[in-house]
Amino acid sequence: MNIEKYTYLQERFLPRLTSAEVKAMDKDDALLILPVGATEQHGPHLPAYTDAILVESMINESFKHLDSDENIWVLPTLPYGKSNEHMDRPGTFTLSSDTLKSLLIDICRSAHKNGFKRLALFNGHGGNLDTLKLIARDVRIETGIMIFIVHIGALDVPEDVVTKEEMLLGIHAGDYETSLMLHDSPKWVKEDLLVKETPNLLEKSDFLRFQSGNLAWTIDDVSESGVVGDATIATREKGAQLYKKQGKQLSDIFLDIKNFDSDSLI
């Protein structure tokens, strides 16, 4: 974590507190957030650490919209994920789904042991989603803690910022991720190496769309460059608009989760 850079996140970084401070915290009213990233190839122009950077920067952005006394806290980012669809490309360091599952369950159990009642998994890598969903209900049943999954890819993207077609096809290191990185971490982007590469999936069938999850693809199936999308149209300004819009939406989601009471449903 770039703790010096993300000043809003820094104030809510749980491990900066002492054991006594965590003990004294009102857990009934608290939301704990675990950012989940990945370390995987992101084409010729983005760093392998992109997904971990994006979850932290988006959380930091969301905290700009929260009152300073809001009882919301963040754990250290999990910098590895299940990235076996990229494992044949250098720069990728993947966990197996079993390892990710065990890691997440252990962290969730610790959150419960600490007394927290609500834990949001803020995920930056689509390949982690199935495993997150798998553990969430098991942990809920085992510990009683409420687990919520918030995926960066499910936040709203204005069509006048990134086109609908690009959002359907540009799932990896395309316009969306590159624009965010150009705004947040421009020195980490190789702007002379931006590429466009999109598979012809949309012409096949709706059933095969990436978002359906029906196709167990690997990067070699869909891209030579490692990019799936159009990074050549990414701009720093688009990134600023995305952070503004999605940061606000994410803060609203965190507040909804924090105020959620499972006993109020029936």
For Zn ion, the binding residues (CB under 5 A) are: 50-51
Nearer to Zn ion, 50 or 123 (CB): 50
Answer yes or no: are the C-beta atoms of 174 and 227 closer than 8 Å.
yes
Least distance (Å) between residue 54 CB and Zn ion = 7
Residue 229 or 247 having the CB closest to Zn ion:
229
In angstroms, what is the minimal distance from the CB of 75 to Zn ion? 20
**227-264 burial: b if 16+ Cβ within 10 Å, else e:** bbbbbebbebebbbbbbbbbbbbbbebbbebbeeeeee
The answer to whether the beta carbons of residues 108 and 139 sit under 8 Å apart is yes
From the CB of 20, what's the least distance to Zn ion, in Å? 38
Residue 50 or residue 251: which is nearer to Zn ion going by CB? 50
Q: Which residue is at the shortest CB distance from Zn ion?
A: 51
- Specify which residues 149 forms β-bridges with: 121
CB of 93 to Zn ion, least distance (A): 14
Task: Name the nearest CA neighbour of 103 among 125, 72, 77, 85.
Answer: 77
- Pick between residue 51 and residue 166 the one whose CB is nearest to Zn ion: 51
Q: Cβ of residue 250: shortest distance to Zn ion, in angstroms?
A: 17
Q: Which is nearer to Zn ion, 226 or 247 (CB)?
A: 226
Shortest CA distance to 76 belongs to which of 30, 130, 122?
122
40 Cβ partners below 8 Å, 6+ apart?
48, 51, 81, 83, 86, 89, 91, 92, 93, 94, 125
Tell me whether residue 14 or residue 170 sits nearer to Zn ion (CB atom).
170
Least CB distance to Zn ion at residue 121 (A): 16
88 neighbors 218 (Cβ within 8 angstroms): yes
Under a CB-based contact definition with an 8 Å cutoff, are residues 123 and 149 in contact? yes
> Helix, strand or coil for residue 89?
coil
